[in-house]
Structure 1
Amino acid sequence: MSGDAFTCNPENQTTTIRDYQHQIYAVFYTVILVPGLIGNVLALWVFYAYIKETKKAVIFMINLAVADLLQVLSLPLRVYYYLNNSWPFGKFACMVCFYVKYVNMYASIFFLASISLRRCRLIIQPLRYSGTKRQWDRRWCLFGWLLVGLGCLPFPLLRKDYDDVHCCFSELPMMNLTKAQGVSLVTVAELTGFLLPLTVVMTCTCLTAASLREKTCVLQDTGEKHKAFKMVLSCAGVFLVCFVPYHITFPLDFLAKSSVSVSSAFKVAVLHIHPVTLCLASLNCCLDPVMYYFTTDEFKRRLSRPEIQESLQLHLRASCSSNREV
């Protein structure tokens, strides 16, 4: 079982496929590096400095931005590896980068589902849910990180010791698994890490849309209705674009590399398509800040030019006052 593409064993894959996959990863990760870094740094700045106390789902958005930023910070090492076909940073750094990739993906899935559920319940049961303490949200986020962290441990732990110190990521050799073990792991990963959150997101989207069309909806303001639905719909859009393609090819990738007899055409097709879907799964670190911008008025206002200039002026005045006092 593998999240990326292939193992170090040259008998399993051709050099052509390896070069193709390295090119795909290097180009895509280079393209999303700068936008992802800037977008998530700005997101954290806005959330912490301005709207932490005003938006109901902001705690989930902060954690989502942290997950995205962790992945972005690991991209330079990945780009270096795929461009140079060599990993000079040691086994520990390789395992950390490999692990962070999947922690980010499944943490993003968890927090997108949490944002959708939060907004849905706030619309459907506003009087009952608006009084929920923020402490519950923080505990839920902590639970999410623990759950995702433990759930992603098989990705690095199933990689066995290897002699080639320049090999990393999906090209690390896998431990030998029986067919039953492999199928069980893939099934659990698909059900808990993908199908369950997908069901939550799509259900919340449908319930929110239905609730906002009701005349008895508590949120009578048309603008508020539109913003609420736009947030839930954006979460569903990011989920469908980034994570659905990967989780469709994930079991196919396992099947292509297993001992099950499949045609060579099937293997080649999967090994060419799966890296593209994995890149789409990384695209969420750029799409999430866009979602914040277009679904949160306060976020958009604070990133407008007048707001940024005003903020800089206040910081300059504070610095000047401090210098005068000294």
Structure 2
Amino acid sequence: MGNLAYAVIFGFVIATGLPLNGASLWILLRHHTINSPSAVFMVNLAISDLVLIVSLTMRVYFYATGTWPFGNMACIWVTMLFRNNIRTSSIFITFISVDRLLAVVFPLRSRFLRTTSKAWKAAALVWVMVVVVNIPESVGFLRTLRKKEHACFVFYNDTRQLEDDTETLNVVIDYFQLVLLFTMLAVNIVSTVLVSWTIQRHLNESARVNNKVNVMLIFAMNLMMFTVFFLPVSLVVFFEDYRPILSCIASLNCCLDPLLYYFSFDGFWKRKEDVDTSLARE
């Protein structure tokens, strides 16, 4: 796949993801007051996507022109924003899955955990974590750029020619992201199984079928996000030559997150109280 194709794909993500996520964030803040943990996590997920989408304009410029006039620090910032989106998106999507798991499986016992204040604290902790990881990661990438004459986004492959400490740092962070995503994927799988079992076993025939379908559709979308978008780009630590292609694929997750918001509120959260009541009566 040539550089022009990368520019077209990233341009598509900008043209599609910017209005969708912008509208989603506006709707979340305007029509769904931030009074539930799920809404808090969705707002943070939309912000993460919007930040990434804005940064993709520089990637489009690079792949369309083949030049990078913005300097090393801009390259590092754009790279970090992309990596942060993968990390924060995977965590916030997992938080949403766990919140729904608690609402369906433990509706009464989990109410003290599922509060807006605790959700904001968890979201803040996520952002602090990714910033802390960015500090040594940025140092490693900056050393790579200074050691070898590379254009931006083409500086990953030659880290073996750097000092041992820089190479080790880059590898450790790559594996950290891989372990993080596998852990989040495992949590999503367990949540999906438990919610599916609970819905089939406990929801009586008076429960609307559309509600059941939408609940499981959200979990299916979450698992798809991991297997199609997040994990492949993290496995690139073993297949460095495919990094540009997998980065393009991973960026497409920004265009699908608005569907998660739609199904979460229209298909589940508007009827959350009814679901909790049904479960409490069992």
TM tier, smaller: 0.7 to 0.9
1:127 aligned partner: 108
Contact kept, 8 Å, 1:26 with 1:79, in 2: the verdict is yes
Partner SS for 1:280: helix
Q: Do residues 77 (structure 1) and 58 (structure 2) align?
A: yes
Go from structure 1 to structure 2 and tell me whether the alpha carbon gap of 1:32 and 1:198 turns closer, same or farther (over 3 Å shift): same
Partner SS for 1:279: helix
Matched to 1:187, the amino acid is Y
- Provide the C-alpha distance between the structure 2 equivalents of 1:123 and 1:157, rounded to a whole number of angstroms: 44
- Provide the C-alpha distance between the structure 2 equivalents of 1:76 and 1:180, rounded to a whole number of angstroms: 31
Matches within 5 A, 1:1-326: 20=1, 22-53=3-34, 55-131=36-112, 132-159=114-141, 160=143, 162=146, 167-171=151-155, 174=159, 175-177=162-164, 184-192=172-180, 194-215=181-202, 217=203, 221-222=207-208, 223-253=210-240, 271=241, 273-297=242-266
Matched to 1:149, the amino acid is V
- Provide the C-alpha distance between the structure 2 equivalents of 1:219 and 1:101, rounded to a whole number of angstroms: 45
- Provide the C-alpha distance between the structure 2 equivalents of 1:104 and 1:219, rounded to a whole number of angstroms: 40
What is the CA distance between 1:165 and its match in structure 2? 8.6
Partner SS for 2:146: coil
Q: Which moved more, 1:118-127 or 1:242-251?
A: 242-251
Go from structure 1 to structure 2 and tell me whether the alpha carbon gap of 1:91 and 1:185 turns closer, same or farther (over 3 Å shift): closer
What is the CA distance between 1:62 and its match in structure 2? 0.4
TM-score, normalised to structure 1, is: 0.71
Q: Which moved more, 1:125-134 or 1:140-149?
A: 125-134
Go from structure 1 to structure 2 and tell me whether the alpha carbon gap of 1:45 and 1:207 turns closer, same or farther (over 3 Å shift): same
- Provide the C-alpha distance between the structure 1 equivalents of 2:115 and 2:52, rounded to a whole number of angstroms: 30
Unaligned runs of 5+ in 2: 271-282
Partner SS for 2:163: coil
Per-residue displacement from partner, 1:125-163 (whole Å, max 9, x unpaired)? Answer: 011223432100000000111112222444422121538
Partner SS for 2:44: helix
Contact kept, 8 Å, 1:95 with 1:169, in 2: the verdict is no
- Provide the C-alpha distance between the structure 1 equivalents of 2:131 and 2:101, rounded to a whole number of angstroms: 26
What is the CA distance between 1:218 and its match in structure 2? 8.6
What is the CA distance between 1:53 and its match in structure 2? 4.2
Q: Which moved more, 1:41-50 or 1:201-210?
A: 201-210
Identity of aligned residues (%): 26
Contact kept, 8 Å, 2:34 with 2:116, in 1: the verdict is no
Contact kept, 8 Å, 1:115 with 1:232, in 2: the verdict is no
Q: Which moved more, 1:72-81 or 1:290-299?
A: 290-299
Bigger Cα Rg: 1
Aligned residue pairs: how many? 261
Per-residue displacement from partner, 1:169-215 (whole Å, max 9, x unpaired)? Answer: 333774433676665444333112x1111111111111111111113
Unaligned runs of 5+ in 1: 1-19, 254-270, 302-326
Displaced runs of 4 or more, over 6 A: 163-166
Matched to 1:191, the amino acid is V
Matched to 2:179, the amino acid is L
TM-score, normalised to structure 2, is: 0.82
